[in-house]
Structure formats: structure tokens, C-alpha cells
Chains A and B, each alone.
Chain A
Amino acid sequence: TQLLEQSPQFLSIQEGENLTVYCNSSSVFSSLQWYRQEPGEGPVLLVTVVTGGEVKKLKRLTFQFGDARKDSSLHITAAQPGDTGLYLCAGQNSGGSNYKLTFGKGTLLTVNP
């Protein structure tokens, strides 16, 4: 079973601060995705990273896939209250059932005004 560990589990910061969320595994993934979920809604895809070492930017969000494709990070610059939500990482299995995802338990981010 492939597992994804996210840290921290909870994060509360002030508006304007920077933060990094981590997603780690001992397994290799074909790709890794980040989702954001707001209360009462389903997760929404933010980005997919595929290549080891890949870096993608989405406005103030920077996503990085580890060189060995076992870990990923999400960095938010100058966080805003609108960034509040549950951030989930999900890895695509590298073996047989590659249409299934393994999800981390999430990081609950609160950005205070």
C-alpha cells in the first residue's frame, strides 16, 4: 500500500505570511496532484506535477515534485484569507492500477486577516 504523509496537519497564520506544506512518501508516484477543498464542497484540482524536480507556479502558489518522485511541496507566498482551506496531495500509483489515486490526510490552513 502506498502512503502519503502530509505535514503539518494544521496551520494557522496571519495574512501576508509565507508557508510551506509537505507531502512525503517512501513510494514512487507517476504523478502527484494538489487539491484544495473548502468547507461543504468537494476537492478542486490545483495542479499536477509529473516530472521529478518539476516546479509549477500558480499565482502565489509554487508546487514542486521531488527529484525521486516520492515527495512534493506547496509554498504559498503572502497568504490571503481566501487561501483558507484543506489542502490535499494525491499520488498516482506507478504500478498496475494507475487510474487510482492515493490521498494524503490533508493540511488544514487558516489565514487570519
Chain B
Amino acid sequence: DAGITQSPRHKVTETGTPVTLRCHQTENHRYMYWYRQDPGHGLRLIHYSYGVKDTDKGEVSDGYSVSRSKTEDFLLTLESATSSQTSVYFCAISDRTGGSEQYFGPGTRLTVT
């Protein structure tokens, strides 16, 4: 299994508070992704990174920001959490030279009350 960890695994926070989720990989893969998974919507891409300090928006990026200061870590920040951001968040990694396959972390369940 690809070495991907996410922290925290569960979090409950209040509306309006900032939240940062962390994804850490030990595979030295170039590409990293943040998805959210909601019933009826499947997996939707929030942001992705194609290298250190190189990031771009996905299809549901509003209200989220990311940072990647080193290869192994990709942070997702909710600047001011809203109830609509209650979801399960997955990080994934990919090595383009190995194809397009993505390997997923275990997920973070975030509840915004």
C-alpha cells in the first residue's frame, strides 16, 4: 500500500473557525490531490498540486486553499468553515511516470456545526 496518512481522521468544528487538514506521503510522488466525497456527488476534486509550491484549482475550490512547501506534505485549509463543508475529505497521490493511477489516504471526516 502507498504510504499516505491524513490527519486528523475525525474533526468537529464550529462555523466560522479555520481548519487545516494534513496529507503526508512517503512515496515521493509528484502529484497530490484533495477530494471531498458527499452522497450523491461522488468524489469531487478541490485542489491539486503538480510539484512543490505548484498548485491549481479543481472543480469545487471555493472556500478552500492549499499549500505544498515540501514534496511529502499537502495541506488543505478551510479559512472559515461552513456547514456546507461538512464532508469526508480524501487525499490522493500519483506518480505520472507510473501512469494516472491515484492512491488514496484513509480520509478525514469533518463535521462543521
Instruction: Report which A residues bind B (CB closer than 8 A).
Output: 1, 30-31, 33, 35, 40-45, 48, 88, 90, 92, 98-101, 103-106
Which range contains the number of B residues in contact with the other chain?
Answer: 20 to 34
Q: How far is the CA of A107 from the CA of B58 in the complex (A)?
A: 23
Q: How distant is A40 from chain B, measured CB to nearest CB, in Å?
A: 8
Cα separation A43 to B42 with both chains bound (whole Å): 11
- Chain B residue nearest to A9 (CB atoms) is B40
Q: Can you name the residue of chain A whose Cβ is closest to the Cβ of B96?
A: A99
A99 near B107 (CB under 8 angstroms)? no
Q: Which residues on B sit within 8 Å (CB–CB) of A48?
A: 99-101
The answer to whether B100 and A88 touch across the interface, beta carbons within 8 angstroms, is no
Check if B64 is an interface residue, CB within 8 A of chain A. no
Q: Which residue of B lies closest to A102 (CB)?
A: B45
Q: Tell me the total A-B contact number using a CB cutoff of 8 A.
A: 54
Docked Cα-Cα span, A108 to B90, in Å, equals 18
Q: Is B60 an interface residue, CB under 8 A from the partner? A: no
Chain B residues 55 to 113 lying within 8 A of chain A, measured CB to CB, are 58-59, 90, 92, 94, 96, 99-107
> 6 pairs across A/B with beta carbons < 8 Å?
A42-B104, A45-B103, A48-B99, A100-B45, A100-B48, A100-B58
Contact A98 B102 (CB under 8 A): no
Complex CA gap A45/B1 in Å reads 10
**Interfacial chain A residues near B106, Cβ < 8 Å:** 40-42
Chain B residues whose CB sits within 8 angstroms of the CB of A30 once the complex forms:
100
User: Would you list the 9 A-B pairs with minimal beta carbon distance, nearest first?
Assistant: A42-B104, A105-B42, A92-B100, A103-B43, A43-B104, A42-B90, A99-B31, A45-B101, A99-B96
Contact between A31 and B48 (Cβ–Cβ < 8 Å)? Answer: no
